[in-house]
Amino acid sequence: MGKLVWHSFARLVSITASVYAIWAGFWGLFYRKFFWDFVGGVLRDPGGLQAPPSAAPFIAVIVKIPLVQIASMLLGIILLCMEYPLPQIKEFAIYRSLVLRTVFLILQVFLNVLYYQGTNAAIWSLVAVICYAKAIMSGEEMEESKANRGKEGMA
């Protein structure tokens, strides 16, 4: 009983995950760490875990220049704009695409799983991906915002 509208639930999860991703990316700018540096890394005292030479490309885009963190913040902002949605985006039908969201969220999972602060954002984005996938599989479609609006006195 009770029919869960998966995409409206997924939207809330996606918003939460994206906000987390932006916040995580922001802190990632100041405390830069490659999440997977424990694979083959050496622990120095002091100095912490040193990633192996094989991870050099990741170190370059996360620790040397925080590219991944910046990208993750930007993606989070884009997702938020889509999910809320921003009034300017509302006109385009593409913002209602569940598939596009799923693609963006998968990208968010991969970006966030790379750096230290992003783990939870990645897991939560994965939850959102699963929910959107469920919505797509059950043939749900997002209605235009006009039809999607609650009616006065319905509550």
Partner 1 sequence: MGENWFQREFMVPRRLAFNVLFYGLHIGIFAYGWWSQATNLKLAGLNTLKFSVWASRGAGLVLALDGGLILLPMLRNILRIIRPKLTWLFPADENIWFHRQVAYSMAFWAMVHTTAHYVNFINVEITQIRKQTALQIHYTQPGGITGHFMLLIMLLMYTTAHAKIRKECFEAFWYTHHLAFFFMLGLYTHATGCFVRDSVEPDLISTFPFYSTEHCLGYLSWRFIIWPGIIYFGERVWREIRARRATRLSKVLIHPSGAMELRITKPSFKYTPGQWLFLQVPELSKFQWHPFTITSAPEDPYVSVHIRQVGDFTNALGERLGVGPSVVAQMTKAAVKGYEKDEKNGFTRGDFVEVDPAMTSITLPQVRIDGPYGAPAEDVFANEVAVLIGAGIGVTPFASILKHIWYRQKKGKLGSLRRVEFIWVCRDAPSFGWFQTLLAEVEAAQADPNFLRINIYLTQKINEDMLWNIAVNDAGADYDPLTLLRSRTMFGRPDWNSIYGRIKSAIESGQYVPGSSSQLKTRVGTYFCGPSVLAKAIKKATEVNTDANVEFSFAKEHF
Name which of 5 and 86 has its Cβ closer to partner 1: 5
58 neighbors 34 (Cβ within 8 angstroms) = yes
How far is Cα 85 from Cα 38, in angstroms, rounded to an integer?
39
Which residues on neighbouring strands pair with residue 42, listed in sequence order? 50
Helix axes 98-112, 67-83, angle to 10 degrees: 150
CB of 54 to partner 1, least distance (A): 18
* Residue 96 and residue 109 in contact, taking contact as beta carbons nearer than 8 Å: no
- Residue with Cβ nearer partner 1 (3 or 146): 3
Least Å distance, CB 151 to partner 1, is 12
Nearest to 108 by CA among 137, 129, 94, 133: 129
Smallest gap from Cβ 79 to partner 1, in A, equals 15
CB of 126 to partner 1, least distance (A): 11
Q: Which residues bind partner 1 (CB under 8 A)?
A: 1-5, 8-9, 12-13, 16-17, 23, 27, 31, 33, 35, 38, 43-49, 116-117, 119-120, 123-124, 127, 150, 153, 155
Query: Taking the complex as a whole, how short is the minimal distance between the CB of residue 6 and partner 1, in angstroms?
Result: 10
Residues in CB range of 62: below 8 A, 6 or more apart: 28, 32, 33, 34, 68, 69, 114, 115
In the complex with partner 1, the residue whose CB is nearer, 23 or 58, is 23
Nearer of residues 88 and 152 to partner 1, judged by Cβ: 152
In the complex with partner 1, the residue whose CB is nearer, 14 or 102, is 14
